[in-house]
Homo-oligomer: A and B are copies of this chain.
Amino acid sequence: MNTEQKLQQYKDWVFRLSAYNMALAIIGIDKLTVAPAGGSEYRDKRTAFLAGELFTLETDPEIIEILKELKDDKSIDEDDKRAITLYYQNAMKTMCIPKDEFVEARELMNRSYDAWLEAKTKNDYTIFEPYLKKVIEIQKKFYGYRNCDKPLYDQMLDDFEPGMNQEKYDAFFDALKERLVPLIQKVVQAKQIDDSFLYQSYPVEEQKKFMDEILAYLHFDKDWGYQNETEHPFTSWTCENDCRTTTKYLKNNVASAILSTIHEVGHATYEHDVDERYDGMILSEGISSGMHESQSRLCENYLGRTKAFWDYNFPILQKHFPEQLNDVSTEQFVEAINVSRPSLVRTEADELTYPMHILIRYEIEKGLFNGTISTEGLDQTWNAMYKKYLGVDVTDASNGILQDVHWSDGSFGYFPTYALGSAFSAQFMHQMRKELDVDEALQHNRFDLCVAWLKEHIHKYGCRYDADDIMQIATGEPFNVNYYIEYLEDKYNKLYHL
């Protein structure tokens, strides 16, 4: 077979992969948004089978051989070479797992999701615990198959954020702890900001009407995006022109669905903006979980919680909720949505305490995989850590250990990227503000200018370059945690007149 023939085989294979990936993405979105619960078992069994079909395709020895040859073939172009290298690396990780175990695990992950949802609804950790235990056992076994010298948890961290490990994350979190814990304590003792008006009754139907306006402001266009509702908001996509977001409305919290929507649209926009040449290929995806989270949290926090953003949008929100908000000024509203207060739920947390929520999960994950923490009584461990790091008492498992979906499908090593991504955002934002009058853009309904900057410097590359390289390209320097710390110090010192 000559290079051209190999490339053709490779491209046909990429297309087939993309078809199965699309099917699984759509089935997944369906499950998490509208699919009737009664059909879960039937669907999950078949979804696992289809994941097995994809597994067979991904690990096809004939293709692996072609990938192996092509990745070192000097005659192919750089885009293909990069994609082939990534596919090859992924295949190496997958093919060490026996297929029947892989399929069985997929089915378990789906049932584990259902158990998590039931446990959360019923506020009962014991419903979820046996699944969590099994999911952890499976992950230990699967990572064990790789036969790699590194500690298991380091391998997991690296899967979500290539190049990262416990040593680097320890240093990262230590830096945060050192400077942020004292700041959090000062904020707790400062004069508190009144944000009670955010928690009046805000009928969901009216929230939805405002959401249509915010989605338009964010340029989340119906032609390529669709927003649904779910228990735990997420974003999923199949191609440039098909990105789905979800949100969750709370009647007694006007800011929750809005900020979660801006967050998810940040993810969706990233996927939408990747160079269309990469559609259907591995290059079309965001480069790492941290990079993805940097884009969602940049939109949510560094844009969506600013005064400039609300200079434009708050009068519109007031029109939808005159009774609740006519006596509130834009300044008051922006202060209220930036209130820092140690709390129970990560997704509702303010920017300052947010990394502490992540730190807790990181510590627990480390313990689960180095054997110092077990799933039995993990709810109590959780509660103790919330007391230690945030000083709050967890009142119920639904708002404690069961709040997040991620462990139900074995996504260990993922949470730390949430804090890392937030730190990436700070550095990107610092650069964006040098090159663009961000406030001017936000005040004048030109959110698209911010998106255009992100596209040009980050989004368009997809997986074409490593996260480190993209940081260098976009900001001219390597990642530096100080941008994040200084941003938080500056913001909260001002807000609380410290």
Contact = CB atoms under 8 A, between A and B. Distances in A.
Given A26-B26, A222-B36, A224-B38, A15 B241 contact: no
- Integer count of this chain's copies in the complex: 2
B242 A49 contact: no
B27 A29 contact: no
Interface in A313-366: none
A274 to B, nearest CB: 13
Residue of A15, A46, A222 with most chain B CB atoms under a 10 A cut-off: A46
A94 interface: no
Contact of A36 (B19, B35, B47, B242): B242
Contacts of A239: 39, 42-43
A240 B43 CA distance: 11
A225 interface: yes
A209 to B, nearest CB: 10
B238 A42 contact: yes
Nearest to A41: B241
A244 to B, nearest CB: 8
Contact of A223 (B38, B42, B226, B238): B38
Interface residues of A, number: 40
Nearest to A22: B46
A266 interface: no
B225 A36 contact: yes
A280 interface: yes
Nearest to A279: B42
A1 interface: no
A318 B34 CA distance: 29
A88 to B, nearest CB: 23
A37 interface: yes
B29 A46 contact: no
Interface string A192-227: 000000000000010000000000000001111110
A228 interface: yes
Contacts of A37: 222-223
A449 B380 CA distance: 49
B50 A226 contact: no
B228 A38 contact: no
A27 B23 contact: yes
Contacts of A23: 23, 27, 46, 50
A42 B226 contact: no
A137 interface: no
Contacts of A46: 15, 18-19, 22-23
Nearest to A243: B36
Interface string A239-261: 11111100000000000000000
Nearest to A30: B26
Given A19-B49, A19-B50, A30-B29, A39 B224 contact: yes
Contacts of A38: 221, 223-224, 240-242
Contacts of A34: 226, 228, 244
Nearest to A31: B26
Chain B CB count within 10 A is highest, among A39, A222, A223, A239, for A39
A221 to B, nearest CB: 8
A20 B24 CA distance: 11
A170 to B, nearest CB: 42
Contacts of A205: 205
A16 interface: yes
Interface in A1-60: 15-16, 18-20, 22-23, 26-27, 29-30, 34-39, 42-43, 46-47, 49-50
Contacts of A43: 22, 238-239, 242
Closest 7 pairs between A and B when the two form their complex, measured CB to CB:
A39-B242, A38-B241, A19-B46, A42-B239, A38-B224, A39-B241, A38-B223
Given A35-B226, A42-B280, 4 more contacts: A22-B47, A37-B222, A39-B239, A42-B240
